[in-house]
A and B are shown apart, each in its own frame.
Chain A
């Protein structure tokens, strides 16, 4: 909590945001948006939100930027202004955002001071989680214990939302589309030929195993350090995206094809829901992990909660990994799975 750094990063964020909106080239806008996400990641670290920073680094600065590149590669990168009525749209946009901004600025006078330890948000529910997490769940990372245990029901449906998003992309591009890759322009073909680069491929081959090992560590060690199922899953998915970019889409699809991918995505949600249902079968509430000590060997009620959290994190990681891959594969090939970036 160093306010000088806070103010510096926030100012840079506003500049990057303005640039991302106003740059006249979509590829440039995607790059600036990636830089914007990275600055956000620094801001979260500065405010002590290390888990959020980790997620932002993996999702916002990593996968989102790649998705923008893939979409721009499949469409066009030029930005044209409106032929008529540009001033009208600009005026209405400025008016609406000015109104909203005015209301928000006015409301900010009622907020508690920034970083005030006695603010209402920090004084009602969260002290319980902070002081009791070790006693009740033996998990030192409070974010993980709240995510997977205290608010486990919510996280289960977040995972289901991610699955639904992947299925929606499949329906829109792969099933509903005409499944044509579209003509690849000459320039792109030239770029693709240039990227059959042995250095890039060699480095990728060296890096990917370590990436996946690190992702497994992030999933398994999420109880004790920043990380967890969401971050580890995104890093695993990103390792396959790296393979697909540096080799080609076929190579990545040979590793995990569409059928296996969908099976894994559903298995992830099933693991999460299944652990919850197991608690129900043993006579406790849905997702009340403490009852699982009856079937887990050598655990008491507290350790059972910690172990069950690892189980649901694995489920989350499976779903997120596969869905990130499905979204990338479909967007980069326009649903045809023929030719990638």
Chain B
């Protein structure tokens, strides 16, 4: 039980990345491959945010930090690690950019070959 609690997040991130990689490699449809890519990305994000979690920590916004001065001493143990959050926040926004480009390429392929399926595209490219 101890081991399960300590490692569960890391096992699941590996499982999510496996699902994503399988989707990218084995699926025939391009949109399905793009969904696989999205799942792979979120797997990495799960890993990063998991490393930032802290037992007994609250969200990384300083309490009573809105007034003129903070009365209590700020202790690092009271707040979860904000660094992975920053990295992953920008990664999510960039992921919508990559998703847009990927879908645009898939649509161009569809107008060119009239199919989204990998085997049919390869057939029509070779013709």
Interface residue tally for chain B (C-beta within 8 Å): 88
Separation of A143 and B11 alpha carbons in the complex (Å): 27
Choice from A56, A127, A155 contacting B76 with Cβ under 8 Å: A127
Choice from A70, A117, A140, A230 contacting B57 with Cβ under 8 Å: A117
Chain B interface helix/strand/loop/mixed: helix
Chain A nearest CB from B111 CB (Å) reads 6
- CB atoms of B26 and A165 under 8 A apart: no
Chain B nearest CB from A6 CB (Å) reads 7
- CB atoms of A115 and B54 under 8 A apart: yes
Does A68 touch B at the CB level, under 8 Å? Answer: yes
Chain A nearest CB from B71 CB (Å) reads 11
Choice from A29, A51, A89, A141 contacting B35 with Cβ under 8 Å: A29
> A residues within 8 A CB of B29?
26, 79-80
A-B contact count (CB 8 A): 329
- CB atoms of A114 and B50 under 8 A apart: yes
Separation of A331 and B32 alpha carbons in the complex (Å): 17
Cross-chain pairs A/B with CB under 8 angstroms, 15 sampled? A1-B56, A6-B9, A14-B12, A18-B19, A21-B35, A26-B31, A52-B85, A60-B96, A75-B110, A94-B26, A96-B21, A117-B77, A130-B60, A177-B108, A323-B97
Q: Which 9 A-B pairs have the closest CB atoms?
A: A140-B65, A165-B97, A93-B26, A127-B76, A327-B100, A104-B14, A113-B6, A93-B25, A108-B10
Chain B residues in the interface with A (C-beta under 8 A): 5-23, 25-29, 31-32, 35-36, 38-39, 42, 45-46, 49-62, 65-66, 70, 74-77, 79-86, 88-90, 92-101, 103-108, 110-111, 116-120
Chain A residues in the interface with B (C-beta under 8 A): 1, 3, 6-7, 10-11, 13-14, 17-18, 20-21, 26, 29-30, 33, 36-37, 40, 43-44, 47-52, 55-56, 59-60, 63-64, 67-68, 70-72, 74-76, 79-86, 89-90, 92-94, 96-98, 100-101, 104-105, 108-109, 111, 113-117, 119, 121-122, 125-127, 129-131, 133-134, 140-143, 146-147, 151, 154-155, 158, 161-162, 164-166, 168-169, 172-173, 176-178, 180, 182, 224-226, 230, 234, 320, 323-324, 327, 330-331, 334
